[in-house]
Amino acid sequence: MSKSKARKRPAHQPHGQANNKGTAVTAPPVAPARTRTPLITAVIILIILHGALFTLLAWSDLNTNGLAVRSLYLPLLLITSVADIIAGVALWLWQRWGFQLYVASTLVMATSALMNTGSLLVLFASILPAIIVAYIFLPKQHLFD
């Protein structure tokens, strides 16, 4: 096949020039490539596993100690851990609200942990995973819907 037959546009209309109707010919916008790096994959899997583990922990504690302990810590742990699972699935599906849900649930969990224990070390340990996730996901923010 000769070079002239392989062209997609006529030789008299170079790319970016005006066509016969007077409008500019431009290439369609290219969607960004959504390639999930191994680090992002590992972080999403850890978010989902962490949420599942704490959901089981909170559920078992609520069943055994729910009536004896009159604190909001266990119900909030259950709610935020389920929110972490939902956020992890949303992040896997490239949804921006998944990151926002993860940060919100982490802040609620950190606040309830601080109120329950009174230790700043527990607060730091609760917020540190969200800081790490933000450091990894914020540069890739343009890929999310």
Write the secondary structure of the chain as one string of H (helix), E (strand) and C (coil): CCCCCCCCCCCCCCCCCECCCCCECCCCCCCCCCCCCHHHHHHHHHHHHHHHHHHHHHHHHHHHHCCCCCCCHHHHHHHHHHHHHHHHHHHHCCCHHHHHHHHHHHHHHHHHHHHHHCCHHHHHHHHHHHHHHHHHHHHHHHHCC
Cα(68)–Cα(61) distance, rounded to whole angstroms?
10
Q: What pLDDT shows up at residue 86? A: 95
Residues 113-124 as b or e (16 or more Cβ within 10 Å = b): bbebeeeeeebe
Q: What pLDDT shows up at residue 145? A: 80
For the chain, 145 residues long, give each residue's pLDDT as a single digit of tens.
555 555 555 555 555 555 556 566 666 666 567 778 888 899 999 999 988 988 888 788 777 765 566 677 778 888 999 999 999 999 999 898 999 999 999 999 888 888 877 788 888 888 888 888 889 888 888 877 8
Q: What pLDDT shows up at residue 61? A: 75
Dihedral of CA atoms 4, 10, 12, 14 in degrees, nearest 10, equals: -100
142: CB partners within 8 A, 6+ apart:
32
